[in-house]
């Protein structure tokens, strides 16, 4: 009985944080920060996970966790697209098709990376450099968890690498074509680096087995 009550409470708390997130996104004069979005969706994901984990145990069935995985994946994709294409705090108010200029792209590898590394020595611009460098590395790390967990073929490194290259290129090209961001080869490098590093970490046998057990209720 106590477990059932906890499951309901976890889901209700998750729904509360998700509702707050959606309201903030829909309000015309609301400008939730990147950190605010991440915190709200992280809390939503955490309590949804707890509810589904205990529900799977209660039912002795992994289906609730599998449904939750898809739900969390959709939340992550929505956050990723919001930050990269529709984030008002980064000045992305509208889409301007084919309004391409030299300010919208960079095709010189490591030019932007070196620029931001140099900014790390400037205390006034330190936070901007950190967000651009480490933010781009972290942004696609969750893909290394979701893709191999949801799609068995993505557990092969070659398949995962090709998929990530396509996804990141699509986002960068969309930013270029719609002028909703800056198409930068260095963003591509950092995004891919982050996803590959996380993939290699998750593919450690003990980590992989733990993820399968928790989210898929399976063991090898």
Q: Is the pTM of this model over 0.75?
A: yes
Q: How far is CA 84 from CA 146, 175, 178, 197, in A?
A: 19, 8, 12, 21
pLDDT above 50 (res 220): no
Q: How far apart are CA 201 and CA 197, in angstroms?
A: 6
- The pLDDT of residue 130 is 83
Give the model confidence (pLDDT) of 166-198 as tens digits.
999 999 998 888 877 788 999 999 999 999 999
Q: What is the pLDDT of residue 175?
A: 87
Average pLDDT of the chain to the nearest whole number? 86
Residue pair 108/188 in contact by the 8 Å Cβ criterion: no
Please give the pLDDT value at position 26: 80
For residue 203, pLDDT over 50 is answered with yes
Q: What is the pLDDT of residues 55-66, one digit of tens each?
A: 998 888 889 999
């Amino acid at each position: 009985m106590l477990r059932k009550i906890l499951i309901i409470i976890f889901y209700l708390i998750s729904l509360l944080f998700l509702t707050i997130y959606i309201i903030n996104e829909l309000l015309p004069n609301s400008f939730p920060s990147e950190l605010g979005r991440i915190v709200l969706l992280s809390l939503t994901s955490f309590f949804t996970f707890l509810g589904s984990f205990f529900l799977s145990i209660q039912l002795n069935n992994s289906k609730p966790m599998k449904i939750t995985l898809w739900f969390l994946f959709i939340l992550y994709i929505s956050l990723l697209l919001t930050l990269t294409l529709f984030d008002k705090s980064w000045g992305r108010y509208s889409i301007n098709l084919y309004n391409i200029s030299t300010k919208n792209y960079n095709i010189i590898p490591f030019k932007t990376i070196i620029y931001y590394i140099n900014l790390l020595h400037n205390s006034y611009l330190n936070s901007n450099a950190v967000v651009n460098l480490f933010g781009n590395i972290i942004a696609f790390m969750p893909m290394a968890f979701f893709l191999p967990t949801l799609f068995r073929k993505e557990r092969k490194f070659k398949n995962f690498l090709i998929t990530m290259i396509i996804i990141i290129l699509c986002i960068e090209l969309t930013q270029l074509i719609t002028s909703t961001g800056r198409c930068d080869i260095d963003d591509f490098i950092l995004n891919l680096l982050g996803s590959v590093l996380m993939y290699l970490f998750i593919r450690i046998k003990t980590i992989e087995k733990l993820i399968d057990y928790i989210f898929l209720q399976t063991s090898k």
